[in-house]
C-alpha cells in the first residue's frame, strides 16, 4: 500500500459527520480501492466545543483555516455550504494544487466556472457529485458516460421538497399551504421554504448541470425561475383529466451558440417515467444525440446519500493522486460563456387556465386573442358554477406555440374586464 492520503474537511455538520462515519466503517475497502489509507488531518468548524459524531476525533477540530493549509492534506472536502468563506478556501486549495471535493451547489452555481478553470489550469481535481441530485450519480454520468456523445437536452426533477409537496397535493387533494406545513413538520421542507418552493435551489442545480452537460458558463441570476406556490388542486385535477401530471422541472437545451435554461412547474404525460418519480425522489433525464434518453433517479438529498457521493468523489480524487494522475477528472474540460436562449422564443405545447366571469362572448374573445398571437387550441374544458356571470375556469391545451406568443395573448385577455384573476400558463414537457 502507498503513503496515506491526508484529507481535511471544511465543515462537520450532518453531511460531514456522515462522511467521517463512512470513512471509518469502510476504511479497509476504501484503502484497497485507493491503494493507500485515507487519513483525516484537520476538520474546520465554527465551534470546536459543539458535540460531534463519535467518528470525529476531537484532535482534528480547528476553528482556524490556516491550520488546514499548514497541513499536508492532498484533498480538501468542503461540506460547509454557502458562498463565503467556502469560495476563498477552495480557491486557495486549488491554487496550492490540492484536490477538492465539494457538495456546495450554491457556490458552484455562482462561482463554479472560476473554480473549474483554476482546477484545469493547475491540473488538479475538482469533484462535485454531491452538489446535484444527492445520491444520484449524475455528475460522473455527464462527465464520463457522455464523453463521445452530445447532450441535446435534459429535464430534471431536482428539488425534493417541491416534488414531495406536489405528490401529496395530487394524491390527497390537499392545498399547497396545508401540505407545506405538514412537510415542514416531517422534515421534508425547511422552516424558511422559499429556497426550495420558489425554485431557487432547482435553478442553482440546473446551472451546475448546464456547466457539465453543455460546457456552459451562464449568468445564474438570469435563469427564468418560478416555483410551485401558484399550483392548486384545480390544476392537478385538470392536468389529470388531460392525461398529465404536474411536476416542478429544471429544463436545459443546447441551441448551439445559446443555451435554454428554465425552472418552473410543468405538465408531463402521466404514463412517463418522470411523472411516476414521486415524493422526495429526484430524477434527471438526459437526451444524448447517440445515446438517446437516459434517466437517473434516486434520493436527491439526505445526509447519507450525499455523504456516499462525497466519499465516492474522495476515492476517485485520492486514487488518482496516489497514481500521480491528479487532475484526470478535469482534463479537457472547457467552459465557454453562453448567452441564455430567450424564454419568449421557446416553443412548446401549453396548459392555459383563464379565470373569467361566465358571460356570453368571453370564449370568443379568448380564442380571438390566442389566434391573433399564433396559438391554436387542441382541447378545451370549461367548468363552472352554472349561474350566469359566476366565475368559471376555462382550461385549454394548445398546440405547439411560442412562449412569447402565449404570454402576449394572455396579457391581452387579462386586460379585459371579465377576467377575475390573472391567467395561468404551464408548459407541457415530453419527459
User: Interface with a second copy by CB under 8 A: which residues?
Assistant: 22-23, 26, 29-30, 32-35, 129, 135-137, 140-141, 144-149, 271-273, 275-278, 281, 283, 288, 290-299, 302, 304-305, 307-309, 311-312, 315-316, 319-320, 323-325, 328, 331-332, 334
Per the DSSP assignment, residues forming a β-bridge with 8 are 76
271 burial type by CB count under 10 A (0-12 exposed, 13-18 middle, 19+ buried): exposed
Nearer to a second copy, 112 or 288 (CB): 288
> CA 427, CA 105: separation in Å to the nearest integer?
26
Nearer to a second copy, 24 or 229 (CB): 24
- Closest C-alpha to 223, from 278, 194, 264: 264
Least distance to a second copy from the beta carbon of 290, Å?
4
DSSP per-residue letters across 256-303 = TTEEEEEEEEEEEETTSTGGG--TTEEEEEEEETTTEEEEEEEE---H
- Establish whether 6 is a catalytic residue: no
Nearer to a second copy, 133 or 199 (CB): 133
DSSP per-residue letters across 311-350 = HHHHHHHHHHHHTT-TTGGGTT---EE-PBPPGGG-EEEE
Cis geometry, peptide bond prior to residue 85 (ω within 30 degrees of 0):
yes
Catalytic residue among 6, 42, 205, 247: 205
Nearer to a second copy, 291 or 407 (CB): 291
State whether residue 427 is helix, strand or coil: strand
> CA 186, CA 165: separation in Å to the nearest integer?
12
Least distance to a second copy from the beta carbon of 340, Å?
24
Nearer to a second copy, 14 or 26 (CB): 26
Nearer to a second copy, 328 or 343 (CB): 328
**Half-sphere exposure for 281 (CA within 13 Å, toward CB):** 14
C-alpha cell at 290: 447517440
- Closest C-alpha to 242, from 217, 216, 273, 266: 266
Per the DSSP assignment, residues forming a β-bridge with 62 are 44
Query: Active-site residues: which are they?
Result: 205
Amino acid at each position: 500500500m502507498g503513503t496515506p492520503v491526508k484529507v481535511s474537511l471544511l465543515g462537520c455538520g450532518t453531511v460531514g459527520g456522515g462522511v467521517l462515519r463512512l470513512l471509518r466503517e469502510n476504511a479497509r475497502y476504501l484503502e484497497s480501492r485507493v491503494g493507500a489509507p485515507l487519513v483525516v488531518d484537520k476538520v474546520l468548524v465554527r465551534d470546536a466545543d459543539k458535540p460531534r459524531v463519535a467518528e470525529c476525533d476531537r484532535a482534528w477540530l480547528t476553528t482556524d483555516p490556516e491550520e488546514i493549509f499548514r497541513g499536508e492534506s492532498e484533498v480538501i472536502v468542503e461540506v460547509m455550504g454557502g458562498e463565503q468563506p467556502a469560495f476563498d478556501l477552495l480557491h486557495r486549495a486549488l491554487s496550492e494544487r490540492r484536490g477538492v471535493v465539494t457538495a456546495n451547489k450554491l457556490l458552484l452555481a455562482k462561482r463554479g466556472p472560476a473554480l473549474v478553470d483554476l482546477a484545469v489550469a493547475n491540473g488538479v481535481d475538482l469533484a462535485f457529485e454531491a452538489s446535484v441530485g444527492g445520491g444520484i450519480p449524475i455528475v460522473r454520468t455527464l462527465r464520463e458516460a457522455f464523453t463521445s456523445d452530445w447532450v441535446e437536452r435534459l429535464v430534471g426533477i431536482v428539488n425534493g421538497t417541491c416534488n414531495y409537496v406536489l405528490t401529496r397535493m395530487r394524491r390527497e387533494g390537499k392545498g399547497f399551504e396545508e401540505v407545506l406545513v405538514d412537510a415542514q413538520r416531517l422534515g421534508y421542507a425547511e422552516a424558511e421554504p422559499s429556497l426550495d418552493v420558489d425554485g431557487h435551489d432547482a435553478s442553482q442545480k440546473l446551472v451546475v448541470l448546464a456547466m457539465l452537460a453543455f460546457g456552459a458558463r451562464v449568468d445564474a441570476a438570469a435563469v427564468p425561475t418560478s416555483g410551485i406556490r401558484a399550483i392548486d388542486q384545480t390544476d392537478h385535477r385538470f392536468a389529470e383529466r388531460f392525461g398529465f401530471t404536474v411536476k416542478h422541472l429544471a429544463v436545459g437545451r443546447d441551441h448551439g451558440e445559446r443555451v435554454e435554461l428554465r425552472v418552473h412547474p410543468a405538465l408531463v404525460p402521466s404514463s412517463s417515467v418522470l411523472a411516476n418519480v414521486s415524493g422526495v425522489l429526484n430524477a434527471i433525464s438526459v437526451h444524448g444525440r447517440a445515446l438517446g434518453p437516459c434517466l437517473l433517479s434516486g434520493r436527491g438529498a439526505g445526509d447519507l446519500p450525499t455523504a456516499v457521493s462525497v466519499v465516492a468523489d474522495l476515492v476517485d480524487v485520492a486514487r488518482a493522486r496516489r497514481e500521480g494522475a491528479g487532475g484526470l477528472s478535469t482534463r479537457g474540460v472547457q467552459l465557454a460563456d453562453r448567452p441564455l436562449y430567450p424564454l419568449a422564443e421557446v416553443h412548446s405545447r401549453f396548459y392555459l387556465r383563464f379565470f373569467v366571469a361566465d358571460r356570453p362572448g368571453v370564449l370568443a374573445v379568448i380564442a380571438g386573442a390566442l389566434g391573433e398571437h399564433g396559438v391554436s387550441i387542441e382541447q378545451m374544458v370549461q367548468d363552472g358554477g352554472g349561474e350566469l356571470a359566476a366565475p368559471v375556469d376555462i382550461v385549454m391545451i394548445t398546440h405547439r406555440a411560442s412562449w412569447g406568443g402565449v404570454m402576449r395573448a394572455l396579457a391581452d385577455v387579462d386586460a379585459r374586464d371579465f377576467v377575475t384573476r390573472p391567467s395561468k400558463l404551464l408548459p407541457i414537457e415530453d419527459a
